[in-house]
């Protein structure tokens, strides 16, 4: 490597059930990078809204939430003991608090507020300026980090993705139909590519990773080879 101190931004986009989050977390763990967990960020805003009266009896006061946004600062810190990133709100550790049922029940309406999304994307971009981050989603390489040094677009055959999901669910004891899951995967692909806000689109400079026939180890070898060329 030409410069072992050089850190980059890694943006991972792609279809559902491709293992994007698992892949992104594994890369962050291997490199000691921060994994920016977007879901955790929306949960953190939800927690703050709950603690400051903007959500009462499960009812979200959107105007009150928007007024609170300027008070909220979210940061991630890599925790070597966990091999993962911990989340903090205004410097306070909230990793456990954001996983409660109360937060889970309110995060969906919070996520639907346009101002919340705008605020969190700006925060994510600020985190990216420091480099050494990995993030996955649907529009990371096109909207959040258009200047990322490494953009990966993950895909896999819909039937393969459905099989993986089927295996996960049946292992938990769920009674499910493979045909129904595959239809759901295909429907979600269509919705992701055709939604009005930030549709799923492969960035022009993204490298495609089709992991239909790849093991986790093969995917890691594939990505590490490309990272080493950049750093």
Total-model pTM = 0.84
d(CA 174, CA 128): 39
Contact 156/16 with Cβ under 8 angstroms? Answer: no
Q: 4-8, 10-14, 114-118, 217-221: lowest mean pLDDT where?
A: 4-8
Place of tokens 């990272």: 227
Selected residue with higher pLDDT from 1 and 228: 228
Q: What is the pLDDT of residues 196-208, one digit of tens each?
A: 777 888 999 999 9
Query: pLDDT-derived band of residue 229, with 50, 70 and 90 as boundaries?
Result: very high
Domains of the chain by range and CATH? 1-33+132-231 (3.40.50.300), 34-131 (3.40.50.300)
Please report the pLDDT score of residue 139 as a whole number.
87
Of 38, 58, 18, nearest to 122 by C-alpha is 38
Q: What is the pLDDT of residues 105-158, one digit of tens each?
A: 999 899 889 999 999 999 999 999 999 999 998 889 999 999 999 999 999 999
Of 9, 139, 123, nearest to 76 by C-alpha is 123
Please report the pLDDT score of residue 5 as a whole number.
67
């Amino acid at each position: 490597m030409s410069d072992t101190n050089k850190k980059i931004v890694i943006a991972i986009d792609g279809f559902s059930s491709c293992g994007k989050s698992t892949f992104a977390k594994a890369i962050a763990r291997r490199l000691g990078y921060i994994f920016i967990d977007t879901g955790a960020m929306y949960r953190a805003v939800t927690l703050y809204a709950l603690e400051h009266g903007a959500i009462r009896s499960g009812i979200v006061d959107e105007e009150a939430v928007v007024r609170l946004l300027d008070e909220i600062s979210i940061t991630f810190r890599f925790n070597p003991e966990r091999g993962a990133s911990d989340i903090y709100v205004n410097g306070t550790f909230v990793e456990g608090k954001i996983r409660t049922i109360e937060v889970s029940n309110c995060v969906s309406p919070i996520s639907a507020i346009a101002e919340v999304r705008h605020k969190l994307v700006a925060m994510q971009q600020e985190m990216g300026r420091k480099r050494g981050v990995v993030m996955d989603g649907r529009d990371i390489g096109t909207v959040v980090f258009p200047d990322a040094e490494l953009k990966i677009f993950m895909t896999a055959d819909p039937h393969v993705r459905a099989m993986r999901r089927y295996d996960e669910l049946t292992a938990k004891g769920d009674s499910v139909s493979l045909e129904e899951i595959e239809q759901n995967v295909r429907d979600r692909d269509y919705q992701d590519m055709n939604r009005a806000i930030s549709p799923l689109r492969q960035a022009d400079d993204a490298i495609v990773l089709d992991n239909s026939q790849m093991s986790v180890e093969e995917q890691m070898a594939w990505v590490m080879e490309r990272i080493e060329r950049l750093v």
